[in-house]
Structure 1
Amino acid sequence: MTTKFQVVDETGCHEELRRQVKDILIRVAPLVKPTTGLDLPGVVTFRIVTVETARATMSADMAHLMRLYGDVVPRWRRPFIRLSSSMLLRLVHSRTAVLCEFLVMAATTTVPGTEESVTVFVPEALHHNGILTDEKNLIALVFHELVHQVQNWASRHRENWIANRAMTLLDGGGIDFLEEGHAFWADQIVTGELYGTPVDVRSAPKSEQYQNLARRGSGPKIDKYEVGRLLVDSAVETVGASLFNEVWTDRRMLPSKDEVDEAVAALAADEPTRPQRWASRLQRAASQGPSEPA
């Protein structure tokens, strides 16, 4: 299947950035399959947008998820879902103004009514995150978000995991660690191969405004990127990419809370270790042969 790459500058002011992103996509897209073992979707779309458009896009994505959630929960719960949805959407809309302008480097969401994803970039946020100081940072970020689009394609935007777990749509649990860790794992491999040393965009020089806002929101947080990368790296090393990629279609293979907790503890240890529980479970599944459809 041939993939169509669409990069659109909706601000009308960042044509050079649009060309950069398009060139990077064409350059790194052939590296997705060899790195992850996953196929590219038929269409890959990146949009360069204003803060207001990014805010509206993120709010619309949450509204879309809430509607889907309301469709799959028991009927008796739906009135409560509608009430909580309106409150949650107001909260999301109020928070995303600052997030979109300063803190969030990119957001990859589902295009409602399609099987496609879209990634939005806000030039101001790229500046405050230091992404534009070195093309290496932009390459790492573009590849990371491209992997998120590939994940969405493989999991059918999490539909393969919903079944009787409707909350998967809103609270991914282990899925969040899987998706962010997998994308981080992949972008570190690719940038390491391209430059000899992996490029971690989180170490790019941040603006003073970004640092001030980040300090205000500081607190004990679990690093989903590092924890997730540790989980993914251990699993792929143990069972290989082919079996690992069954996780995108079989909800039973998702990392459990205990398996994530083990990775958190392994990363936080004075001498970091490798988590084994999830990798061992996947290895046992491999020895038992192909799993039945979920």
Structure 2
Amino acid sequence: MTTIDVHDETGTNSQLRAQIADILSRVVPLVEPLTGLDLPGRVTFRIVPPQTWQAEQRGDLVQRMRRFQNLQPLWKQPLIGLQSLMVIGLFRWASPTLGEVLVMGATQPKGGGDESQTLLVPQALQHNGVLSDLKYLTQLVVHELMHQAANFMNRHRGPWVADRPEVLIRQGNVDVLEEGHAHWADQVMSQAEFGTACDVFSAPKSERYKKIASHPLFGLLRPKTDPYAVGRVLVASAIDTVGPRAFNRVWTDARLLPTDAEVAEAAEALAADPPTQPQLWANRLQDTAVTTPGSHPSPSA
């Protein structure tokens, strides 16, 4: 049984805390039946001020960069160290705006175990329009909950690291997989909850959000491939083909991570008029699948 912990560390958002706790009580039982993933014994959501978000996200980034550096050959480590300083410096510059305005939620490891915690900043939720309708808040909570489930499945990318150390710094198409899978699940669950899938990206943004998001410097921080939209198409096609349980092998086998060519095909499929369904990654997963009793295809969102 999964224990649900929701904390309001701002002292002024008790209603938001109650809403999140209520959403989690409804969606936590749906995770395993719909996705085949288990949750840890405890899921933690924290409503925090922007300064807490900045400090804890920076700490997580420093830990990941340091671990990545230590996994490199000795001759590479000084260069990786310099690159790490640049990345951390850039994050330090951008984090006040990211945490207070642009980022809806952030899920990271909790302590040294397999549990995770999700940090939510009320100001950022407001700027993103998440608080304008309960369906948007529900979609966001489900999305971050799925990151906690995936983290529990693969011990925060642990099984991938030996073969692909770059996953620690979110390279190797890891963001496309993780965000795409969470977005696929939030669409499936919001469909089940409200009768139609929700699109939190269309929620009404504040004028401050619009101004900052359109700034060229923040445009440079965006990935070339949208990990949410392209990732959802990629994951939906794969789960349609092999079913959620066979799909979940990807969380523990770095060889099954999507390749650049497979992600590119998904981007082309999404951009087609009308959109098509990518097949390269789905076919590879099917070719390597081991029949699992009880596994079955799941409808895409």
Q: Is TM > 0.5 for Structure 1 vs Structure 2?
A: yes
Superposed CA offset, 1:127-183 (max 9, x none): 011111111111111011000000111111011111132111113332211111111
**Please, which of 248, 251, 274 is the counterpart of residue 248 of structure 1?**
251
Matches of 1:29 and 1:117, distance apart in 2: 14
Q: Give the superposition deviation at 1:114.
A: 2.3
Matched-pair contact (CA < 8 Å) for 1:70–1:82: yes
Q: 1:207 corresponds to which letter in structure 2?
A: S
The 5-angstrom pairing of residues 1-294 of structure 1 reads 2-216=1-215, 217-218=218-219, 221-286=224-289
Superposition TM-score, scaled by structure 2 size: 0.91
Superposition TM-score, scaled by structure 1 size: 0.93
Matched-pair contact (CA < 8 Å) for 2:163–2:254: no
Matches of 1:198 and 1:287, distance apart in 2: 31
* Shift in CA distance, 144/8, structure 1 to aligned 2, threshold 3 Å: same
Matched-pair contact (CA < 8 Å) for 1:49–1:122: yes
RMSD over aligned Cα, in angstroms? 1.7
Q: Give the superposition deviation at 1:112.
A: 4.2
Matches of 2:207 and 2:86, distance apart in 1: 32
Matched-pair contact (CA < 8 Å) for 1:64–1:112: no
Q: 1:243 corresponds to which letter in structure 2?
A: A
Q: Give the superposition deviation at 1:70.
A: 2.3
Matched-pair contact (CA < 8 Å) for 2:2–2:43: yes
Q: Give the superposition deviation at 1:218.
A: 4.5
Q: Give the superposition deviation at 1:80.
A: 2.8
Matches of 2:146 and 2:41, distance apart in 1: 14
Matches of 2:277 and 2:269, distance apart in 1: 6
Matched-pair contact (CA < 8 Å) for 1:174–1:256: yes
Point out where structure 2 has 5 or more consecutive residues left out of the alignment: 293-301
Q: 2:253 corresponds to which letter in structure 1?
A: D
- Match of 2:273, SS state, is coil
Matches of 2:134 and 2:93, distance apart in 1: 32
Number of aligned positions between the proteins: 288
After TM superposition, the structure 1 stretch with the greater mean CA deviation from structure 2, 162-171 or 275-284, is 162-171
